[in-house]
Structure 1
Amino acid sequence: MHLWRVAGEKPTYRISSTLFLRGLGVIYLIAFFSLWIQVDGLIGTDGILPAKNYLERVAGYYETQSPTQSPYWEVPTLAWLGSSNTQLETLCVIGMLGSLLLICGFLPLPSLVLLWACYLSLFHVGQVFLSFQWDILLLETGFLAIFLAPLIRSRCFTDRAPPRIALWLLWWLLFRLMFESGVVKLSWNDGGDISLQNTWETLTALDFHYWTQPLPLPTAWYAQQLPDWFQKLAVIFVFAIELCFPFFIFAPPRMRRVASAGFIFLMFAIGVTGNYTFFNLLTILLAILLIDDACWPTRFRLRMAGTPTVSWVYWQQIRTYFLLPLTALAILIGSLHIYVALWPKATWSRETIVRFNPRQWLLVNSYGLFRQMTEKRPEIILEGSRDGKTWEAYNFCFKPGDLQQRPRVAAPHQPRLDWQMWFEALRWERVYQTTGKMNLRYASPWFVSLVQRLLENQPAVTGLLCVDRLAQSPSEPSFFRMGLYQYRFTDRAESLKNGSWWHRDLDWMSPTYRVSKTRTGILDIHSEENKLD
């Protein structure tokens, strides 16, 4: 690999563009496959939040509350054509097939359009289960990649120089992703509650990160045992990468390579201790775009050599007409997002974003990973019983539950229910700290629906959990309860003593609910007569 380019030689990015586009096909394939095996239980007809019910509510809202607006424009999704289990699965399968076409280099541009349309469709009906930053990042990246890709298959996929404007837009996306993620760590509590400690400012964030992150890996337990000086040094390193290196993107090629190496190393460091789905891989792909062709072996560069044809030049001119307004929008809205990250109390910038940004298309978005480091790890444990005395927990595949269970590897797959359970537990903790009590009236609607589906033993929903006697039983449990626990990693002494990965303390235990048939479902969760204690 050549580290330095020949003086006077204009940098090109054919090889990195090829790797990026084919790699993006792999990311899309992972995302669609991961969703395909969960879609019935999450948003299917008998799922937790049925897409059909959601679209009916959206249509009803715009018909009664905003008749001048079209629900088809405000919520753009192919699921308007049908949202049954088969149709939702078909969107996932089409996405997987389109991903394979992109990986192989056949019809790259049409494939990218198809992939973006399918994922946007699933994003809108996925509701809370597709509300993660990497979903948004994939949509924005996928849309910009449309303008980078060749129209049809070329000899080596991109043997002509990629459009410079499209390349710069992807660099601008990477800049915003990294810089905003660094800025929000320092500004999230500006003008807010002074009683809240910003662990990023005190360099203690990694004292909590490894065991409070949503789905840690086994390596996180060992990372937690590292000395304090190492944890503080790692936080300083994170700030250097996220706040300084993004500016190297717009520097000469040598500095871009340094930025690329820094971003890739940071993504590796994050991914080695936690399950973050395809986020790390997608960010690495964006970072690869910073590496110019001079860095790659000569034989690769020779294979990429080509002479633009008349049709290629004509297509480039057409594409430029679309890129110019997109560039203006990306710079305007992207800059405003950065301004908001720097000064969270700025209201005029937020109003401008709302006014000019077509949010339903997810073209330009804000980012802020690990904005506020959680200092506790609440976990919701759901339990069922057939006699009211012997209780069995519903076993989730990846989130902590059993104290003896070794943290599991999930990435690049995303178990979306397990992830949402982490956010719901944080919500419950806030309610419990504020009110001193907790019940299902304070729970999120999706969680209430989850409880109903579990008690009904809906196969689509119980299939999202690990195989256990309770979830897989042909009969419903007769009694049900929920507990809110505080989890933390064990230390070395505890681990050697009992072999546990986790230690937990009970914060709150719900009353025992009797499962009974009602007009509203298996269990009337708001009915006092169903409480036994």
Structure 2
Amino acid sequence: MAGTLPDWLGWWSSADYDVARTLLQRGFGALYVLAFWGALRQFRPLLGEHGIAPVPRFVARTSWRDGPSLFRLRGLRYSDRLLVAVAWCGMLLGASVVVGLPQAGPWWVPALVFLVLWWLYLSLVNVGQTFYAFGWETLLCEAGFLVAFLGSDAVGPPLLMIFAVRWLLFRLELGAGLIKWRGDTAWRDLTALDYHHETQPLPGPFSWHAHHLPRWWHRFEVAGTHVTQLLVPWLLLLPQPFPSVAALAFVLTQGWLVITGNFAWLNWATIVLALGVVDDGTWAWLGGLVGMPDAGAAASAGAARAAAPEPAAPLAFVVVVSAVALLLLVLSVRPALNLASRHQRMNASFEPFRLVNAYGAFGSITRHRDEITVEGTLAEEPGPDEWVEYVFQGKPGPVDRRPPQVAPYHLRLDWLMWFLPLGHSALWFTVLLRRLLEADPSVLRLLGHDPFDGRPPRAVRAVLHRYRYTTPEERRRTGDWWVRERLHLAVDPVRLPDE
């Protein structure tokens, strides 16, 4: 196993994807840092020992088969202290990849680092319940596992893993396109973006502007989405330069989504994956196209590197990567069949380790924006004007507040608040209201503004409002970004039991 690659397997690795490997490793290293930072800040109030949906209770009523996790191992049962250790370990390992430390060693060093990152984050996702039930959580797990086997600077990038990255990107984009086409007539009649910029979960600072673009532009956006997600992914299955062309199309469309919305790290992860299928020759060509001074030298160097014989990879590396590729091939059967199914599943895992998954987004479009606002009062017998609103960090609240830019950071509580008016389970919301009545400091830190400055209110309630963007004329006249109409009480006033 300490030998080297036989000559007849010289195709196995390639010098054409050095830049791609660097971008994949460092890009996902950075995303892991961000994800673990989010866990450090949000996991304990949401899922900790005294959280809204405590992990110990969840683990007690579920099994290893339901979701393998570090927190299910004997002697390592969940504690908030262990969570902090996991989050810091994940951030430090991710940061080491960003600066290139593991990549400077043998092939197995970055493999070990990324496998630890994958296992630690999988451990969070598999006990994170509804607060971690998002497609980009699974995407980060799958991508981290793939990137683990790209090797270090001491070996050429294995083509099998480059093909695995293409396959992931193919499922990600085509799955999103198919779920839209199958799921809602608004995508088929090109009207989806008449609503989406206004009704998406967390609008961004430029979403209002995107919503007020001409209708013909919205039709163009939807048509472009169909082309990019239904047709362009097939270029990934062809030889270069077609995958590089597809990648550039994905980067452009994902960049527009970054500007017009807040989808956590989904768009950034897709961009990193897309850049990871671009070969070095294309990078050199792009450098010349934008007039970089060293573009000619880069192109010559890339050509020379591609023409030079690649140093033989260690046989152990070849065996490990080939075994992983075979495993991924077997696990790809169900996700592939899912793409062809009329009952396509969106953001689904077919095995508990989340190695090959199904993806998709916005299979249905909401036509109106209904929001739950939470209010509290210090009055014993409050009148209509004695209720004050809690302001969340990202979700719409006060009508004069411009939607903030929060992505690629993921505001889990704000996202779940968007699902509430759509009829999703609200068990966690009942607990949230109790935590507000108790003025729980850790929960209050998840909000943008506590109107009571840490004092416990006498009662809280939830009100359903309908929101819409102001028109350009209304915005000029009032300065507001939203207009909202009170519909009805969603939850009657709630008090602590001893009151």
TM-score range, shorter chain: 0.7 to 0.9
State the SS of the aligned residue for 1:199.
helix
Letter of the aligned partner of 2:356 in structure 1? V
Q: 1:338 is matched with which residue?
A: 339
Deviation at 1:510, TM superposition (A): 4.5
Contact 2:46 2:53 in 1 (8 A): yes
**Where in structure 1 do 4 or more consecutive aligned residues deviate above 6 Å?**
302-307
5+ long unaligned stretches in structure 1: 1-9, 59-70, 151-157, 190-197, 429-442, 523-533
2:26 to 6, 22, 30: 22
Identity %: 33
Q: 2:122 is matched with which residue?
A: 120
Distance 1:44 1:307 in 2: 53
Letter of the aligned partner of 2:446 in structure 1? L
Deviation at 1:147, TM superposition (A): 2.1
1:239 to 221, 226, 245: 226
Q: 2:475 is matched with which residue?
A: 495
Distance 1:510 1:142 in 2: 41
Q: Does 1:462 align with 2:415?
A: no
Q: 1:72 is matched with which residue?
A: 64
Letter of the aligned partner of 2:88 in structure 1? V
Letter of the aligned partner of 1:424 in structure 2? L
Gap change, CA 1:288 and 1:239, over 3 Å in 2: same
Contact 2:69 2:123 in 1 (8 A): yes
1:368 to 342, 360, 384: 360
Distance 2:170 2:490 in 1: 46
Residues 280-299 of structure 1 mapped to structure 2, 5 A cutoff = 280-297=267-284, 298-299=297-298
Distance 1:210 1:385 in 2: 33
Deviation at 1:82, TM superposition (A): 2.5
1:169 to 156, 164, 180: 164
Q: 2:96 is matched with which residue?
A: 101
State the SS of the aligned residue for 1:200.
helix
Residues 79-94 of structure 1 mapped to structure 2, 5 A cutoff = 79-80=71-72, 81-94=76-89
Deviation at 1:478, TM superposition (A): 1.3
Contact 2:251 2:274 in 1 (8 A): yes
Letter of the aligned partner of 1:327 in structure 2? L
Q: 1:48 is matched with which residue?
A: 52
Letter of the aligned partner of 2:462 in structure 1? M
Contact 2:169 2:274 in 1 (8 A): yes
Letter of the aligned partner of 2:162 in structure 1? L
Q: 2:113 is matched with which residue?
A: 111
Deviation at 1:75, TM superposition (A): 2.2
Deviations 1:372-395 (A, max 9, x none): 111111100111111112111111
Contact 1:486 1:505 in 2 (8 A): yes
Deviation at 1:72, TM superposition (A): 2.7
Gap change, CA 1:264 and 1:159, over 3 Å in 2: farther
1:273 to 237, 260, 276: 260
5+ long unaligned stretches in structure 2: 1-13, 103-108, 285-296
Deviation at 1:311, TM superposition (A): 6.3
Q: 1:219 is matched with which residue?
A: 206
Give the count of matched residue pairs. 455
Gap change, CA 1:302 and 1:314, over 3 Å in 2: farther
Q: 1:399 is matched with which residue?
A: 395
Distance 1:382 1:469 in 2: 11
Q: 1:253 is matched with which residue?
A: 240
State the SS of the aligned residue for 1:229.
helix
Q: Does 1:449 align with 2:431?
A: yes
Letter of the aligned partner of 1:498 in structure 2? T
Distance 1:319 1:512 in 2: 58
State the SS of the aligned residue for 1:37.
helix
State the SS of the aligned residue for 1:382.
strand
Deviation at 1:303, TM superposition (A): 10
State the SS of the aligned residue for 2:254.
helix
State the SS of the aligned residue for 2:468.
strand
Deviation at 1:495, TM superposition (A): 1.0
2:351 to 359, 366, 369: 359
Q: 2:3 is matched with which residue?
A: none
Deviation at 1:216, TM superposition (A): 0.8
Letter of the aligned partner of 1:455 in structure 2? L
Letter of the aligned partner of 1:473 in structure 2? G
1:178 to 164, 173, 179: 173
State the SS of the aligned residue for 1:359.
coil
Q: Does 1:473 align with 2:454?
A: yes
State the SS of the aligned residue for 2:466.
strand
Distance 1:11 1:87 in 2: 41
Deviation at 1:399, TM superposition (A): 0.3
Deviation at 1:74, TM superposition (A): 3.4
1:329 to 331, 340, 344: 331
Deviation at 1:183, TM superposition (A): 1.0
TM-score, scaled to structure 2: 0.86
Contact 2:350 2:357 in 1 (8 A): no
TM-score, scaled to structure 1: 0.81
Contact 2:15 2:305 in 1 (8 A): no
Gap change, CA 1:162 and 1:478, over 3 Å in 2: same
Q: Which 10-residue stretch deviates more, 260-269 or 293-302?
A: 293-302
Distance 1:167 1:294 in 2: 15
Gap change, CA 1:34 and 1:301, over 3 Å in 2: farther
State the SS of the aligned residue for 1:403.
coil
Contact 1:33 1:92 in 2 (8 A): yes
Letter of the aligned partner of 1:223 in structure 2? A
Q: 1:529 is matched with which residue?
A: none
Deviation at 1:182, TM superposition (A): 0.7
1:420 to 416, 421, 424: 416
Contact 1:46 1:458 in 2 (8 A): no
Q: 1:378 is matched with which residue?
A: 370
Alpha-carbon RMSD across the aligned residues, in angstroms, is 2.2
Q: Does 1:36 align with 2:36?
A: no
Gap change, CA 1:303 and 1:57, over 3 Å in 2: farther
Deviation at 1:509, TM superposition (A): 1.4
Letter of the aligned partner of 1:409 in structure 2? Q
Distance 1:229 1:22 in 2: 39
Letter of the aligned partner of 2:267 in structure 1? N
Deviation at 1:302, TM superposition (A): 8.2
Deviation at 1:93, TM superposition (A): 0.9
Deviations 1:350-378 (A, max 9, x none): 8xxx9xx8521111211111211111111
Gap change, CA 1:511 and 1:320, over 3 Å in 2: closer
Letter of the aligned partner of 1:383 in structure 2? E
State the SS of the aligned residue for 1:375.
coil
Letter of the aligned partner of 1:136 in structure 2? T
Distance 2:196 2:490 in 1: 29
